[in-house]
């Protein structure tokens, strides 16, 4: 099983094929792999206005959107994960934002995980360990961005789904059948 019709690539193919290096919107592809590491010691979430999803900062008992000057009584924490994804060809760093990160984090919201971190830091660490090493099919965007006067390919997870081995087997059998028929 896959996510849509984007071509299936490997981690090694990202560099080999120069994915994301061209001008424009970037390259979109599907990848099958495992999250091997979550960078949870750095920023793994941000506080947002629940309505606009824009970043807010705490100001006393309220949260303030610095851009608009509006205040709200409470924020919604949203994921902004930095993680390593690996397959049989290698590993690379990826970014995952709230929608795809929610799947990778076992459908636990960033607010829920924040509560766990506050109540029991060891269980917080345990949750990241439990969520690692699960196989996923991932829709990825590769795009070159300029950072610190250097061009770098940024890899962003747009969608994530647990691998459906039954559907994946059917896809592989169909591909094998097609290849065998082409050889005749």
Residue for token pair 């890899």: 155
Q: Please give the DSSP secondary-structure letter assigned to residue 7.
A: P
- C-beta of residue 83 within 8 angstroms of C-beta of residue 97: no
Residue-range definition of the domain harbouring residue 31? 8-47+79-183
In a domain, 3, yes or no: no
pTM greater than the 0.95 cutoff: no
Residues of the chain with pLDDT under 50: none
CB 19 within 8 A of CB 153: yes
Judge whether 24 lies within some domain. yes
95 lies in some domain: yes
Q: What does the pLDDT read at residue 67?
A: 83
Q: For position 42, what pLDDT does the model report?
A: 77
Residue 61 lies in a domain: no
72: closest CA among 51, 91, 41? 51
Is 144 domain-assigned?
yes
CATH code where residue 30 lies: 2.40.50.140
Q: What angle do CA 176, 28, 170 make, to 5 degrees?
A: 25
Determine, yes or no, domain membership for 40: yes
Residue 177, domain member (yes or no): yes
Q: What single-letter DSSP state applies at residue 123?
A: H
Asked whether residue 56 is domain-assigned, the answer is: no
Query: Which residues, at least 6 apart from 135, have a Cβ–Cβ distance to it below 8 Å?
Result: 32, 33, 34, 162, 163
Tally the domains of the chain.
1
Instruction: Compute and round to an integer the Cα radius of gyration of the chain.
Output: 19
> Which of 162, 169, 164 is closest to 133 using CA atoms?
162
Neighbours of 36 (CB within 10 A): 13
- E strands, the chain, are 8-9, 27-38, 45-48, 57-59, 62-64, 71-72, 76-87, 90-97, 135-147, 150-162
Give the SS3 label for residue 83.
strand
User: What is the Cα–Cα distance from 134 to 138, expressed in whole angstroms?
Assistant: 12
């Amino acid at each position: 099983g896959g996510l849509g019709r984007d071509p299936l690539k490997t981690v090694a193919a990202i560099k080999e094929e120069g994915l994301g290096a061209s001008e424009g919107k970037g390259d979109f592809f599907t990848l099958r792999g495992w999250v091997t590491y979550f960078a949870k010691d750095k920023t793994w979430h941000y506080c947002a206005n629940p309505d606009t999803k824009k970043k807010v900062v705490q100001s006393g008992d309220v949260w303030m959107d610095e851009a608009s000057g509006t205040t709200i009584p409470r924020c919604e924490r949203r994921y902004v994960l930095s993680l390593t994804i690996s397959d049989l060809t290698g590993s690379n760093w990826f970014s995952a934002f709230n929608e795809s990160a929610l799947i990778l984090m076992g459908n636990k919201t960033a607010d829920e995980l924040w509560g766990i971190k506050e109540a029991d830091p060891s269980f917080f660490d345990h949750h990241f360990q439990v969520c690692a090493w699960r196989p996923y099919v991932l829709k990825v965007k590769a795009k070159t961005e300029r950072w610190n006067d250097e061009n770098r390919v940024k890899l962003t997870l747009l969608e994530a789904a647990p691998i459906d081995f039954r559907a994946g087997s059917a896809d592989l059998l169909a591909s094998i059948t097609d290849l065998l028929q082409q050889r005749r």
